[in-house]
Amino acid sequence: MKKIISTLCLLLLSNAAHAALNVFACEPEWAALTQELAGEQANIYTATGALQDPHRVEARPSLIAKARRADLVVCTGAELEMGWLPVVLRESGNADVQPGRAGYFEAASAVHMLEVPTHLDRGDGDVHAQGNPHIQTDARNFLPIASALAQKLMQRDPGNKAFYQQRLNAFEQKWRAALARWEQQAAPLKGVAIVVQHKGFPYLSDWLGLHEVAVLEPKPGMEPSAAWLAQVLDTLQQHPAKIVLRAAYQNERPSQWIAQHAHINAVELPFTVGGSDAAKDLYGLFDDTITRLLKGMQ
Amino acid sequence: MLRITGLCAAVLLCQSSHAANTESTFNPAFSLILSGTYASLQQDPATPATGFAMNPNPGHEQGFNIGESEMGISANIDPQFRGTATLALDPAGGVSVENAYVQSSSLGDGFNLKFGRFFSGLGYLNEQHAHAWDFVDQPLVYAALWENQLGEDGVQLKWLAPTDMFIELGGEMGKGRGFPGTDRAKNGSGAGVLFVHMGDDIGVEQSWRAGLSLHRTRAVARESTDVPDLSGNAVTNQFTGDSRTAGLDLVWKYAPHGNIKERYLKLQGEYFRRTENGDLAYDTAGVNVSDSYAVTQRGWYVQAVYQFMPRWRTALRYDSLDSGTASVGAANASNVIADYAFKPSRTTVMLDYSASEFSRIRVQLASDQSRQHLSDTQFFMQYIMSLGAHGAHSY
């Protein structure tokens, strides 16, 4: 009897020691990063897919139920999720993951933001007060974010502090090597003129030295009209570009129209993990992004 | 000296503007909804649906009408509480408090507390603000049974189960000031609501939510004017008694790849059944005969909203009401109409265009058969514009 009880106790204890953190990741890139840092210590739920416009997500019942059980919410922040996350968190009845609480993590707070507007006016379209939120397109950003996220994981699961530290060290080493490789591969992209469909790539441009000459959306978040596209085409006569970029979740028509009329290549980038077959994890995301950019140059 | 004064003034200015900035960072989120409609109706909108003369008739406004502008203010009060107020600005002047409640999300364990004035969590459409409606108007069943929307002054407690599937239980206690209740001076609760909501995803493309709601209140001397009687006169009646309503709601949404920006389809339907049991005072201004009265009213709608390309949506809705057959006490058997033998219905089509998330322009056409022998073709145009902070929308 004693033996049974002690075995049960051991089982319970070992279970408790291995109780994984429930992580609610707003976007696939943060799910992938959490996976890198926490491995099997985390049960990760990804709230949005690579083929969904991250600005336009609904506060679905399933999201609220997942947030209810989360120990940690990992999101981009910078108002990217403002259309749905506040409702999800409020309705979840989970006090720990409310903004500002210990179970809430924003990746944007760990990096330097670009395109922070100097004045805010809805006439300028869907602009974010804290800057452009698409920070995941610059691979360099993952180093400070990984470090901050690992700190958060240690705080939420202090029992596995050494484990997270070790995973972070390993990630940083591997990521630095990958960065050097990507930057070398992407050297021919430096100074290349590009057109973007949505202002989704300032961080990518900043990293690889791409030169953005035009945007297909008349204002952020607004679909381009035929008249507007004709105007962009005019701009391209004076400032020729090599490629037109769009994210996997975006409608292909505007960039294909421009590609056809301006005789440039349309390139679809995965934008996040899962945005293409090759973008299976964070490494695949940037391998594929650079491969597609280089291919678009030909 | 002048230079020093100037310097001092500049320093002071700097300080004050700095102070103003820090103050403004604590200001609540402020939003304003501007909306207006143009309605072309063939029948008098004051005529209620046949069999529902003792129910509210929010109806429509004819011609150009700026409708109610809605002003919303919300902010965290402290780490425990969040406050929200929505004020409706009446075009004729005057302000009414639509919502004014405090919510606490820090109770933990899935509990959510709300108190103040709020839209009841019953049904699916009841909690949605007018600017989020998919049509110019509410379904007939909401108009007749809830005067478009049931607002409550009271307390709501919800609990979300720690399950993979969304299962939420909620209860409300309130004053019962809105129809079908009546505002009474009384301690304790004047109305109670219980609801359960369930929902989930089916893959990445589909999601659903289903709900069951129960509402109970009591009406005291609830007055209805212009009620037709068996002799063909229009009289004033008063009802005193219990009112119990049960409702079912179901919503299903589909979007290719789960991307609602491009295209989506939303199907929804709700059914309500209300039983009222008590006494009816017939013709209170005249003979004033009182006897027992009991009736069960029902109503339902189904609708589909389809966003066929970014920015453009179209929708179709079918409405139906059933006034039931009343059991009328012997004293009023020759006065009160027990069975109208008519089922009001309406078919509505809608098309809207949103230049951005903040603006919407809509046209709507309805074939209204809710009033016997008074068939009505109703045409509407509407704009809904949202300024300032734009809060997240619920499912």
One-letter amino acid of B263: R
- Residue A113's pLDDT is 93
Q: Which of residues 58-117 of B touch A (CB under 8 A)?
A: 79, 82, 103, 105-112
A200 in the same domain as A271: yes
A271: left (phi over 0), alpha (psi -120 to 50) or beta: left
Q: Does residue B12 register a pLDDT over 50? A: no
Asked if the Cβ–Cβ distance from B257 to A65 is below 8 Å, we say no
Kindly list the residues from chain A whose CB atom is less than 8 angstroms away from the CB atom of residue B253.
Answer: 58
Pick the residue with more confidence: A77 or B393? A77
Q: Could you list the residue range(s) of the whole structural domain that residue A250 is in?
A: 186-297
Burial class for B247, CB neighbours closer than 10 Å (0-12, 13-18, 19+): buried
Domain end (from A129, A163, A180)? A180
In a domain, B157, yes or no: yes
In a domain, B121, yes or no: yes
- Residue A9's pLDDT is 43
- Residue B25's pLDDT is 60
In a domain, B10, yes or no: no
Which is nearest to B54 in space by CA: B235, B230, B218? Answer: B235
d(CA A130, nearest CA chain B) in Å: 13
Mean pLDDT of A215-230: 87
Q: pLDDT tens, B351-364? A: 999 988 889 999 99
**CA–CA separation, A85 and A274 (whole Å):** 21
A141 in the same domain as A75: yes
Read off φ and ψ for residue A47, nearest 5 degrees: -80, -30
Average pLDDT, chain A: 90
d(CA A87, nearest CA chain B) in Å: 6
d(CA A270, nearest CA chain B) in Å: 14
A64 in the same domain as A48: yes
Average pLDDT, chain B: 90
Least confident of A8-12, A267-271, B130-134, B249-253: A8-12
Order of strands, edge to edge, in the sheet holding A193-196?
A211-215, A193-196, A243-247, A265-269
Select the residue of B103, B161, B163 nearest A90 (Cβ to Cβ): B103
In a domain, B112, yes or no: yes
CATH for A12? 3.40.50.1980
A161 in the same domain as A90: yes
d(CA A177, nearest CA chain B) in Å: 34
A10 in the same domain as A139: yes
Q: Are strands B191-202 and B206-228 parallel, antiparallel or unpaired?
A: antiparallel
A141 in the same domain as A175: yes
- Residue A265's pLDDT is 95
Residue whose structure tokens are 């300080």: B15
A130 in the same domain as A58: yes
Q: Could you list the residue range(s) of the whole structural domain that residue B258 is in?
A: 28-388
Select the residue of A59, A90, A126 nearest B105 (Cβ to Cβ): A90
Band (pLDDT 50/70/90 cuts) for residue A219 is: confident
In a domain, B6, yes or no: no
Q: Does residue A7 register a pLDDT over 50? A: no
Residue A112 CA to chain centroid, in angstroms? 15
A191 in the same domain as A174: no
Asked if the Cβ–Cβ distance from B110 to A122 is below 8 Å, we say no
- Residue B9's pLDDT is 41
Asked if the Cβ–Cβ distance from A84 to B393 is below 8 Å, we say yes
Residue whose structure tokens are 């952020």: A220
Q: Does residue A3 register a pLDDT over 70? A: no
Q: Does residue B14 register a pLDDT over 70? A: no
Crossing angle, helix A142-156 and helix A28-38, to 10 degrees?
60
Q: Are A62 and B253 in contact (CB under 8 A)?
A: no
Q: pLDDT tens, B75-114? A: 888 888 999 999 988 888 888 999 999 999 788 899 999 9
Asked if the Cβ–Cβ distance from A61 to B198 is below 8 Å, we say yes
Domain end (from A141, A157, A180)? A180
Q: How many residues does chain B have?
A: 395
Asked if the Cβ–Cβ distance from B105 to A85 is below 8 Å, we say no
A14 in the same domain as A138: yes
In a domain, B13, yes or no: no
Q: Does residue B24 register a pLDDT over 70? A: no
d(CA B288, nearest CA chain A) in Å: 50
A195 in the same domain as A138: no
CATH for B167? 2.40.160.10
Overall number of domains in chain B: 1
Partners of residue B368 on adjacent β-strands: B346, B376
Overall number of domains in chain A: 2
- Residue B26's pLDDT is 64
Read off φ and ψ for residue B345, nearest 5 degrees: -150, 170
A140 in the same domain as A264: no
Asked if the Cβ–Cβ distance from B262 to A251 is below 8 Å, we say yes
A125 in the same domain as A47: yes
